[in-house]
Amino acid sequence: MNRFFQITVFAGFVAMSLSLASCAQGPGAQAPAAAQPAAAAPVQPASASSTTEGKSDDEIRDIVRIQLDKVKWSPTEGNTLGVETAVLEGDPKKPGYYLTVNHFPPGVMSRPHFHPDERHCIVIKGSWYTNTGDVFTTKGAVPLKPGDYMRHPKGAHHFDGALDDDVYVAISGTGPGGITTIDGGPIFGRIKKGE
């Protein structure tokens, strides 16, 4: 994937996340407004022939619009605690760019873990509590609000999730991704503030 495409996709990801930050309600709720492109210098309109001329079929991609209340949600890593994921672009299990949205119900966090790829996260809704290290605790956790960003470097030990409210987080990276818990146990656990 060329660098221009990666930057363009990430800029769209940021714009979408910020646009949804104030209106994403999750499954079954009112549809959020369509994501708007990031503010940029005015672009001169181009004819269809000039935008596709000399490009292969693989380089010509359709515009995609996704409403979070209409996406397919699946249990994240097969958990039974209510954490779910919607894949918006790509496939986290395969090579290449991916974009997902994770939903954490109140009182559920991932346990200390790491990933084989670097991930970029933007909170869409709720207070996402984030922590680092190998001890599963909310003490010292940093709450991130809608629009806030966090990078998970490859191999960095961390954990995160929801304490008081439902949380939605957009996550992008370059697969194949994955998750490994520090103690080899379940990926998600129930926890209360102060534990």
Residue of 42 and 122 predicted with greater confidence? 122
Give the tokens for residue 68. 């979070």
**Above 60 in pLDDT, residue 4?**
no
Whether 86 and 169 have beta carbons less than 8 Å apart is answered as no
Q: Could you tell me the residue range of the domain that residue 63 belongs to?
A: 3-190
Do the domain assignments include residue 195?
A: no
**Above 60 in pLDDT, residue 25?**
no
Do the domain assignments include residue 160?
A: yes
Do the domain assignments include residue 138?
A: yes
pLDDT of residue 164: 93
Do the domain assignments include residue 17?
A: yes
Structurally, the chain folds into a number of domains equal to 1
User: Binning pLDDT at 50, 70 and 90, where does residue 124 land?
Assistant: very high
**Above 90 in pLDDT, residue 81?**
yes
Residue of 11 and 106 predicted with greater confidence? 106
Average pLDDT of the chain, as a whole number: 80
pLDDT of residue 59: 75
DSSP SS3 for 172: strand
The neighbour count for residue 55, using CB atoms within 10 Å, is 10
CATH number of the domain at 68, please: 2.60.120.10
Q: Measuring CA to CA, which residue among 95, 70, 64 is closest to residue 174?
A: 95
Query: Which pTM does this prediction carry?
Result: 0.72
User: What pLDDT, in 10s, does the model give residues 168-181?
Assistant: 999 999 999 999 99
**Above 90 in pLDDT, residue 9?**
no
